[in-house]
Amino acid sequence: MNKPIRKAILPVAGLGTRFLPATKAVPKEMLTIVDRPIVQYVVDEARAAGIEHIVFVTGRNKQVIEDHFDRAYELEDTLQSRSKKEALELLEKIRPTPGATSFTRQQDPLGLGHAIWCARDIIGREPFAILLPDVIIKSHTSCLKQMVDLYDRIGGNIIAVEEVPDDQTQNYGIVALGDKIDDRASQIANMVEKPARGTAPSNLQITGRYILQPEIFDLLSEQGQGAGGEIQLTDSMLKLLETQPFASLKYEGKSYDCGSKAGFLSANIAYALDDSKLASELIPLLNDMLKHPLAAE
Ligand code: UTP
C-alpha cells in the first residue's frame, strides 16, 4: 500500500509584485474572491482531499494569514453577544483543528524550490502535497482529492495538468507525456519550463498542484540557483524523474491564476456567477458595462 498523503505545503512567501501597490501591506493570498481570501479556497481544497496538516511557508508581512486561520476572540465574542449565529458558524467552519497547521518563514524569497525546502523538517520522510495558493481550481471534486485518488492507485509523484491554447505554451511549465494510464492520467516523460515558441512537447500546463515523494528535499538541498537566480522546483523534479515515476492528471475542473490580474478578476466573476442571488444582481450590471464600456468614466 502507498503511504498516505497527510500533509500539504502552501508556499505563501512570494512578493506578489504584480499586484502592487495592493500587496504592499496585504499579502496577495489575502486578496478576496467574492467574500473569501484566495488562500481560503486552497485550504478548503486541501481539507476536502483529506489533508490533516498544512504547512504554510510564509515571509515578512504575512502574519495576517496566520490570524485568518486562528480564533478571533473579540469578533467572536461580539457576534455571540449579538446572537449572530450564522456568522459564528461560518468562522467556526473555516478554522482548522488546533495543531493542524504549521508556519515557517522562508526569510528570503529565493524561489519556489527554496520555499518547499524550508518545510522539509515539518514534512519529514513521507509523501506530501504542494498547492500553489495563487492558483484556485473550480471543480466538483477537489482537484487535490482527484490527485490523491490517482496516487492511492499508482503511487509515485503526481502533477496536475490542464490544456492551454497551443500559442500560449511558452508562458508555462509544460509536460511531455509517456504511456497512458487511463483517460485522464499518463506517465510523464519530461517537463520543460516555458518552452520556446513552437517547441512545446504538448499543450499540457503544470497547474500548481503536486504530490511528491520526500526524496525531492534531498535534491533541493543539493540544488543551486537556476533561472532568474531562484531555486526552481522544476529543476529538482527533473532530477527526481530520473529515478522515480511521475504521472500527470488532467483533472476535472478549471484553474484561475489569481497571481495575474486577468485571472484574479475572472475568478471573482466565475465564483460570483455561482451564487444565484449575487448573479441575478451582477449579470445586468455586466451586460450594461459591456454595452457601454465608457459609461463609468
Ligand atoms: P510567483 O512567482 O507566482 O509569486 O510564485 P510571487 O513572487 O508572489 O508573484 P509576483 O510574480 O511577484 O507577482 C508562485 C508561488 O510560489 C510562492 C508564491 O508565494 C506563490 O504562491 N513563492 C515564490 C514563495 O513562497 N517563495 C518564493 O521565493 C517564490
Q: Tell me if 173 CB under 6 Å of ligand 1.
A: no
**Residue 230 alpha carbon, nearest atom of ligand 1:** 28
Q: Is the CB of 10 under 6 A from ligand 1?
A: no
Asked if residue 87 has pLDDT above 80, the reply is: yes
Side-chain half-sphere CA neighbours of 256 within 13 A? 21
**Cβ of 115 below 6 Å from ligand 1:** yes
Task: Decide whether any atom of ligand 1 lies within 6 Å of the 14 Cβ.
Answer: yes
With a 6 Å cutoff on the Cβ, whether 110 touches ligand 1 is yes
pLDDT-derived band at 152 (thresholds 50, 70, 90) equals: very high
Model pLDDT for residues 90-149, shown as the tens digit of each residue: 888 889 999 999 999 999 889 999 999 999 999 999 999 999 999 999 999 999 999 999
Q: Which three cell numbers stand for residue 203?
A: 499543450
**What tens digit of pLDDT does each residue of 161-208 get?**
999 999 999 999 999 999 999 999 999 999 999 999 989 999 999 999
CA of 225 to the centre of ligand 1 (A): 15
Neighbours of 20 (CB within 10 A): 10
Indicate which atom in ligand 1 lies nearest the CA of residue 108: 28
Where are any strands of DSSP class E within the chain?
7-11, 32-33, 36-37, 53-58, 101-105, 128-131, 135-138, 157-163, 173-180, 185-193, 204-212, 246-250, 254-257
- Asked if residues 113 and 236 have their Cβ atoms less than 8 Å apart, the reply is yes
Measured from the CA of 109, which atom of ligand 1 is nearest?
A: 28
Domains detected in the chain: 7-259 (3.90.550.10)
- pLDDT surpassing 70 at residue 296: no
**pTM of the predicted structure, to 2 decimals:** 0.94
d(CA 75, CA 78): 5
- What's the CA-to-centroid distance between 90 and ligand 1, angstroms? 29
Which residue is associated with the grid cell 502574519?
63
Model confidence at 224: pLDDT above 80: no
pLDDT tens-digit series, residues 2-35: 999 999 999 999 888 999 999 998 999 999 999 9
Query: Does residue 227 surpass a pLDDT of 70?
Result: no
